[in-house]
């Protein structure tokens, strides 16, 4: 996913250097999943990333997300994820 060891972040997702949504600007939002339902997501370049799917497949293995008992991204609104606070937002961005 993301390699943060150097000065510049790197991703397997390709996007132009002048794009509004590079790794340094990871927004959170909600999108309509074509397979059904609304999920919390982020965007890198022109790609929407379903965070619910990533959490389900174990991508969020950090100390905070490892202790969650529900999928805060498998929701119709972003409220549950936002209510977890800055530490969770930071861990999510590092994971992404």
Could you tell me the CATH number of the domain that includes residue 24?
A: 2.30.30.230
Could you tell me the pTM of the whole model? 0.78
Q: What is the pLDDT averaged over residues 1-30?
A: 65
Number of domains in the chain: 1
Which residues constitute the domain of residue 11? 2-95
| Residues 57-75 pLDDT 10s | 999 999 999 999 999 999 9
pLDDT at 52 over 90: yes
| Residues 28-38 pLDDT 10s | 999 998 888 89
pLDDT at 8 over 70: no
Helix, strand, coil percent content, the chain, rounded in steps of 5: 25, 20, 55
């Amino acid at each position: 996913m993301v390699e943060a060891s150097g000065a510049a972040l790197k991703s397997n997702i390709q996007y132009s250097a002048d794009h509004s949504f590079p790794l340094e600007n990871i927004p959170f939002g909600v999108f309509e999943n074509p397979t059904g339902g609304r999920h919390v997501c982020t965007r890198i370049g022109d790609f929407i990333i379903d965070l619910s799917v990533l959490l389900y497949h174990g991508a969020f293995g950090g100390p905070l997300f490892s202790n969650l008992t529900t999928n805060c991204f498998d929701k119709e609104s972003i409220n549950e994820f936002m209510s977890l606070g800055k530490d969770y937002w930071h861990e999510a961005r590092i994971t992404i």
